[in-house]
Chain A
Amino acid sequence: MEIRKILLLALSLTLCAVVAQAGFDASRVISVVSREEGSGTRGAFVELTGVLAKNSEGVEVDSTYAEAVIANGTNLVLTTVAGNDAAIGYASLSSVLHSDTVKALRVEGVEASTGNILNGTYKIARPFNVVTNGNLTDPLALDFMRFVMSREGQAIVSDDGLVSDANGQTPAYVAAGLAGSLTIGGSTSVAPVMELLGEAYMELNPDAVIEVQSTGSSAGVTGALDGTYDIGMASRALKDSEVEKGALGIVIGTDGIVLVVNLNNPLEDISVEQARQIFTGEITTWADLNK
């Protein structure tokens, strides 16, 4: 009986959801979707858009709108925005590039693309760091880093939608055929590209095992420092407290952050200032944005 009721409810809900899909209502309140405090993506976004600003006492305050929905991962941001006409969120370029469930906005007329981040015209971008505890000594870890920064490694980085600093002088990688295993952990944003790098490295060095864990930027730095990970990953610049403890960061590529809206939203372009106003709650309806 209970089950049948739930099934009926589910069915009627689906119908309603389908009916509700027609037309875009600009008078709707904007559903702001943000990330949790401490997330590398959020840190980069609030810093790059000016949501994070000094208050009258000179303290940096993250004034993300208190009514903003908080999602704890890129996938939840995309799912939430895809399911809500009035939503806006942000995610890294690499995770949105292949997604057709949401619409990526141009920022000040510039499309979010690898080329535009490299030539500096796209405004919202951040570094992807690899973190080590002091200088690397483990031969396998050293060889892996040589691969990551080589022409082959940087080709993988740029194929994944990241912007690589590599130029014509970047050396080619020669496989050393080392054996052993490496544990790499940290930022959920860096993990996908690190997995690709690890797979390519294992193909060239069949006796090596590279394991990639995605736990978050801070966990990546902590793990690299306490030895849990041979190499950590962070999708933000290192904090002073982390550098003091001996953490060293190497930028393997730069990631753009993309503002995403629902496919039904007619908006195509947004300015950094408009993004700041939306994410601080100064603008609350889509109609106000277009004034």
Chain B
Amino acid sequence: MAAACVCILAVGVICYFLFANGLPFFAQYAVSDFISGKEWAPLRGVFGILPMIVGSFVITLGALLLGAPAGVLTAIMMARFSSGKAVRLMKPAVALLAGIPSVVYGFFGLMLLVPFTRSILGGDGLSILVAAILLAIMILPTIIQTSRAAIEAVPNAYYEGSLALGASHESSVFRAILPAARSGIVSGIVLGIGRAIGETTAVLMVAGNQARLPTSLLKGVRALTVNVLLEMGYAADLHRASLIATGVILFVIVMAVNIIFSFYNRRRVLQ
């Protein structure tokens, strides 16, 4: 009970801090200019975060396209296609993947993925592509663990019933179990989105962090989170306020994703 209160209190305090510090900025700088501005030159008083919003969106989408199918298929394999021995090996491996600090992922990306893409595809190597690949790996454990729990929670009767109707093992899993576990799988993917959009250190190390609209997957990009971390140490006055306001926008986006997801879930339950 006390722990729950602390948890709610923490959320409340964070909300209060963020909005109390971030909103005064909008009194001095129009929200529309802030969100739709294409130029970021804080020392000259120009604060446009459209490139960062696009940046966060693009790398998150990329991570999802690469990571979600891999994660869900891995979960299906662990739940329904593997021997107990293989699962005993994979479970700690996935847990380990979840426990690796993001700076280590960033270093891995900087030392291996970046030189690799640079030698194969040219450019700086610090790019949207590398950031998306790295994030895809980072969200795998979240998606795998949640999806696997959802798949294993489906009553075995679904599977047996499907087999009894003459369906094969594969089609029973994909046609009977998977649809039943859909809401859990989607929530795993939404958690993955949350992780990807919130990831900072690893992205900072491999994305190049240019504050302008990217024109290709091999160009760098700056994410919203990176913008805050990158400049917070040196920012003063309105510049500092603009970074907290960036945090407010990020918070609103994450909230929106969660609300849309819970709305979607409730509608499904009602159906």
In the complex, which residues 57-85 of chain A have their Cβ closer than 8 Å to any Cβ of chain B?
59-62, 66-72, 76, 79-80, 83-84
Interface size on A, residues (CB 8 A): 45
Name B235's contact: one of A13, A60, A218 (CB within 8 Å).
Answer: A218
CB contacts (< 8 Å) of B125 on chain A: these are 84
Name B236's contact: one of A13, A59, A83, A218 (CB within 8 Å).
Answer: A218
CB distance from A57 to the nearest CB of B (A): 11
CA distance A67 to B121 in the complex (A): 17
The yes or no answer to A154 lying at the interface (CB within 8 A) is: no
Determine the residue in chain A with the shortest Cβ distance to B236: A218
Interface size on B, residues (CB 8 A): 52
CB contacts (< 8 Å) of A71 on chain B: these are 209
In the complex, are the beta carbons of B44 and A61 less than 8 A apart?
Answer: yes
The yes or no answer to B170 lying at the interface (CB within 8 A) is: no
In the complex, are the beta carbons of A16 and B120 less than 8 A apart?
Answer: yes
Contact A84 to B124, CB < 8 A, known contacts A1-B90, A67-B219 = yes
The yes or no answer to A215 lying at the interface (CB within 8 A) is: yes
The yes or no answer to B42 lying at the interface (CB within 8 A) is: yes
In the complex, are the beta carbons of A222 and B210 less than 8 A apart?
Answer: no
In the complex, which residues 24-47 of chain A have their Cβ closer than 8 Å to any Cβ of chain B?
29, 31, 36-40
Main secondary structure of the interface of A (DSSP, over half): mixed
Contact A69 to B110, CB < 8 A, known contacts A13-B116, A84-B118 = no
Contact indicator per residue, chain B 118-156, by CB within 8 Å of chain A (1) or not (0): 111001111000000000010010001000000000000
The yes or no answer to A188 lying at the interface (CB within 8 A) is: yes
Question: What residues make up the interface of B, taking CB atoms closer than 8 Å to A?
Answer: 40-44, 70, 74, 77, 86, 90, 93-94, 97, 108, 110-116, 118-120, 123-126, 137, 140, 144, 204-205, 208-212, 219-220, 222, 229-237, 239-240
12 A-B pairs (CB sep. < 8 Å)? A2-B74, A17-B112, A36-B209, A36-B231, A37-B42, A37-B239, A38-B43, A76-B205, A84-B125, A188-B233, A216-B233, A216-B234
